[in-house]
Structure 1
Amino acid sequence: MIHKWIDRYNELIWIRLVGELLTSTTGAMIAPFIVLFLHDKLDGNILLAMIIVAMQPLSEIILTLLGGTMTDRIGRKKIILVALFLQAMAMTGFIFAESVWLFAGMYLLNGMGRALYIPASRAQIADSVESSKRSEVFALINTVGAIGFSIGPIIGYFVFTTDPSLLFACEAIALILYFFVVLVKLPETAPEYKRDTHTPRSVITWKERIVTHRYVLGLMAFSLPISFFYAQKESTYPLYMKEMFSDYLLILTTIATVKAILDIVFQFVLTKWAERFSMKNITLITYSCYILAALGYGYSSSLWMLLCIQVILVIAESIGLNHFLRFVSELAPVTLRGTYFSIYGTHWDISRMIGPFTGGMILVDLGGLALFYLTATMLLIGCTAQYLLVRRIETKASIKTKVIST
C-alpha cells in the first residue's frame, strides 16, 4: 500500500511536498506574530504597521502578472529559483532591520519573491498532473503545509518570546535549503512557448485581452471578499484579539495549531469528497462557510467559539480553494497556465494591499464587530456573483461537450 501511494505521484510532486513542509514550518513560526512584531517595533502605531504590511502586496500585484507571463515564456524552474532567492534575502534583511524604511523594503522584496513563486509552482503542478488528480495534489500540498503550520506556531511562540529575530533566521535557512533542492533535482515542465507571429501585438487591444480572459478575471474579482477576509484574519484580528483576551498570544498560538491539525486530518478527505459536486455547488458551500466564519470572528468571545470557527474554515478551504485552483487549470490554455494562475491569484495581492489599512481604520474608528459585519456582507455579494459566473462557465462547457460528441 505504501509503494502504491508513493508511485501515485511523480518525483516532482514529492520534492514539492518536502519543500512545502520545510518552508511552511518556518513560515508558521512567523505568521501569527509578524503584525505584533511590527506593532512593537513601531511603538504601538497600528496604522503605520498596517501600511507596511500592505506594501508587500503592492509589489506583488505588478509582479504576479509579469511572473505568470515570464513562467510561460522562460520556464517554471528558473522563476521558482529566483523567487526563493528573493524571499531568502528578505528574511535575512528582517534580522537586521531597525527603521521603518528597511521594514518596508524587506516586505517589498518578499512580496516580489511570492509573486513570482506562486503562479510558477501552480503551473508546474498543472503541467505534471492529469486533470483528475489536480485537486487532490493541491490538497496534498496544503495538507503537508498544514503539518508545518501545526508545529510552527508552537516553536514560534517560544522563539518570539526569546528573540523575534531568530524567526526570520530560521525562515531564511529553510528557503536557502529549498533553493538548492530545486536547483539540483527539480525538472523543467513548461511546454515550449511559441510567440504568435501572425498577429501584431499592437493589433490586440486591452479590451480584446479582457474579453479573451473574461472568465478568469471574473473568478479573480469575485474571490476578492474571500481574500479580504483573510487579510483581516492575518492583520487586524490579532490586534482585535489583543483587546479582548488577556492571554491573546497563547490563544492565537492555540487556534493556529488546532487549525493546522484539522487541515492535516480533514483537508485531503474533504477535497476528494467534494469531487462529487459541481463547481457552482462548491461555490455556495465555500462562501457560506466563510460568511459564518466572518460573523464568528466578529462575535468571538471565547476560545471554544474560535475553535468552532477553525472547523468551518477547514471545510471552506478544503472544499473550495483547492477545487477553484483545479477549475482555473482546466480553464487555462496549456501555454497560458502561468498567466491564468497569476491573474486568478491577484485577488490575494489586492486584498492584502488594501485590506490591512482599510481594516485598521475601521477597527480604530468602529471596532472589530463592524469590521467583520462588513466582511460578511462582502462575502454574501461575492457568493452571488461567483455562483452566477461559475454556472455560466459550466453551462457553456456542457454545451460545447455535447456539440463535440454529436
Structure 2
Amino acid sequence: MPSKALLAARKAVAESFTGLPASFWWLWTATLINRLAALVGTFPAIYLTQGQGYSASFAGLVVSLYGGGAAAASVIGGALTDRIGRRPTVLVAQLATGVSIVALGLAEQQLLIAVLAFVVGVASFASRPAMAAMIADLVPKENRGKAYSLNFWAANIGFGVSAAAAGLLAEHGYLLIFAGESIATLICAALVFVKVPETKAAEPQGSAERKQSVGYGVVLKDRTFMCLIGLTFLVVVLFQQAATVLAGARYPLFTEAAAT
C-alpha cells in the first residue's frame, strides 16, 4: 500500500488543480501558447550577429531596445488594463505582436530593425498585466495562490520548449522563428477572444475620488515594493547575459565543433 507521505503528496497535487473555473484554464492555455511563441526573444544576439552579420555592439543595442520596450509595456499595459479593459488590452497587444514580429523578421535596415525591436518589446509584453489581472478577477481569493503558481508553471514550460524550438527552427532559417511566433501569438489572441470573457467590473458610483488617489505615484512611494523592484532589476540584468553576451560568445564554439 502507498505510504501516508505518498498519499498526502498525491492529495496535494490533486488539490493544486481543483477549485479553479474553466475560464481560468482557457487563460492558462493561452499563457502556455503565448510563452511557447516566445521564440524571437530567445536568440536575438545570435540572429543579429551570426544570421545577419551585424556587430555585437549593434546586437546589444537592439536587445536593449527590446528590453526597454518590455519595460515600457508593463506601465502601458497596466494603464490600458484599467482603462479599456482586460480582454481588449490582451487582444490589441497580441495582434500588434503578430504583425510587428513578422515585420522585424523581414527588416534589413539597421534603423528599422532597432525601431521594430522596441515596438515588438512593447507589444509582446503589454498583455501580461492584463492576463494577471484577469486571473485575480476570475479566481476566488482563497485559490489565487495556486492559480498564479499554475500560470507561472505554464510560462516556464512554454519558455523552456520555445528555447529548444527556436534552435531547431533556426537550423532551417531564422525567418521561420519570426513566422512561428507570429502564428502562435495570433492563436493565443483567438483563444482569448472566443473563450475568455471580459472580467473588468463596472466602476461603482462615487468611485472618481478613489480613482484619483490610486496611481503609479502611490506605487513609487512604497519603499518596500520599490526595493523589491530594484533587486529584481539586478537579477534580470544578470539573467539576460545568457541571451546577449554569453550567447554571442559561446555560439561560435558550437559551430566550430559541429564543423569538425
TM-score normalized with structure 2 length: 0.79
Q: CA-to-partner distance for each residue in 1:4-40, whole Å, 9 max, x for gaps? A: 876522122211222233232232x444422200113
Aligned to 1:306: none
Fraction of identical pairs, as percent? 20
Aligned to 1:107: 117
* Structure 1 pair 200–103 and aligned structure 2 pair: CA distance change class (3 A): closer
Give the deviation of 1:71 after TM superposition: 1.0
Aligned to 1:64: 74
1:16 aligned partner, one-letter code: L
Pairing partner for 1:239 from 248, 251, 256: 248
- Contact 2:19–2:143 under 8 Å retained in 1: no
Q: CA-to-partner distance for each residue in 1:273-331, whole Å, 9 max, x for gaps? A: xxxxxxxxxxxxxxxxxxxxxxxxxxxxxxxxxxxxxxxxxxxxxxxxxxxxxxxxxxx
Aligned to 1:222: 231
Q: Higher helix proportion, which one?
A: 1
1:23 aligned partner, one-letter code: N
- Contact 1:73–1:193 under 8 Å retained in 2: no
Pairing partner for 2:59 from 43, 49, 52: 49
Give the deviation of 1:101 after TM superposition: 2.1
* Structure 1 pair 190–159 and aligned structure 2 pair: CA distance change class (3 A): same
* Structure 1 pair 174–218 and aligned structure 2 pair: CA distance change class (3 A): same
**Paired residues, number:** 246
- Contact 1:42–1:49 under 8 Å retained in 2: no
* Structure 1 pair 197–130 and aligned structure 2 pair: CA distance change class (3 A): closer
Q: CA-to-partner distance for each residue in 1:197-248, whole Å, 9 max, x for gaps? A: 44896x999977743x4443332123211111222122222123236x4459
1:170 aligned partner, one-letter code: G
CA distance in 2, matches of 1:95, 1:197: 45
Secondary structure at the counterpart of residue 108 of structure 2 = coil
Secondary structure at the counterpart of residue 67 of structure 1 = helix
* Structure 1 pair 113–32 and aligned structure 2 pair: CA distance change class (3 A): closer
Aligned to 1:16: 27
Aligned to 1:349: none
Q: Which has the higher contact order (CA 8 A, sep 6+)?
A: 2
1:80 aligned partner, one-letter code: V
1:218 aligned partner, one-letter code: C
- Contact 1:87–1:175 under 8 Å retained in 2: yes
Alignment of 1:236-315 (within 5 A): 236-242=245-251, 245-246=253-254
Give the deviation of 1:148 after TM superposition: 3.3
Aligned-residue CA RMSD (Å): 3.3
Secondary structure at the counterpart of residue 37 of structure 2 = helix
CA distance in 1, matches of 2:181, 2:106: 14
- Contact 1:75–1:188 under 8 Å retained in 2: yes
Match status 1:152 vs 2:162: yes
1:77 aligned partner, one-letter code: R
* Structure 1 pair 153–248 and aligned structure 2 pair: CA distance change class (3 A): farther
Give the deviation of 1:100 after TM superposition: 1.3
Give the deviation of 1:78 after TM superposition: 0.8
CA distance in 1, matches of 2:134, 2:203: 14
* Structure 1 pair 73–30 and aligned structure 2 pair: CA distance change class (3 A): closer
Give the deviation of 1:196 after TM superposition: 5.1
Unaligned runs of 5+ in 1: 251-406
- Contact 1:56–1:108 under 8 Å retained in 2: yes
* Structure 1 pair 152–223 and aligned structure 2 pair: CA distance change class (3 A): closer
* Structure 1 pair 149–248 and aligned structure 2 pair: CA distance change class (3 A): farther
Q: CA-to-partner distance for each residue in 1:56-108, whole Å, 9 max, x for gaps? A: 23234334223212212321111111111111112221231111122223212
- Contact 1:63–1:116 under 8 Å retained in 2: yes
Match status 1:129 vs 2:139: yes
Match status 1:73 vs 2:105: no
- Contact 2:37–2:185 under 8 Å retained in 1: no
Aligned to 1:256: none
CA distance in 2, matches of 1:187, 1:100: 41
Pairing partner for 2:48 from 35, 38, 51: 38
Give the deviation of 1:150 after TM superposition: 4.2
* Structure 1 pair 104–216 and aligned structure 2 pair: CA distance change class (3 A): same
CA distance in 2, matches of 1:14, 1:234: 31
Unaligned runs of 5+ in 2: 1-10
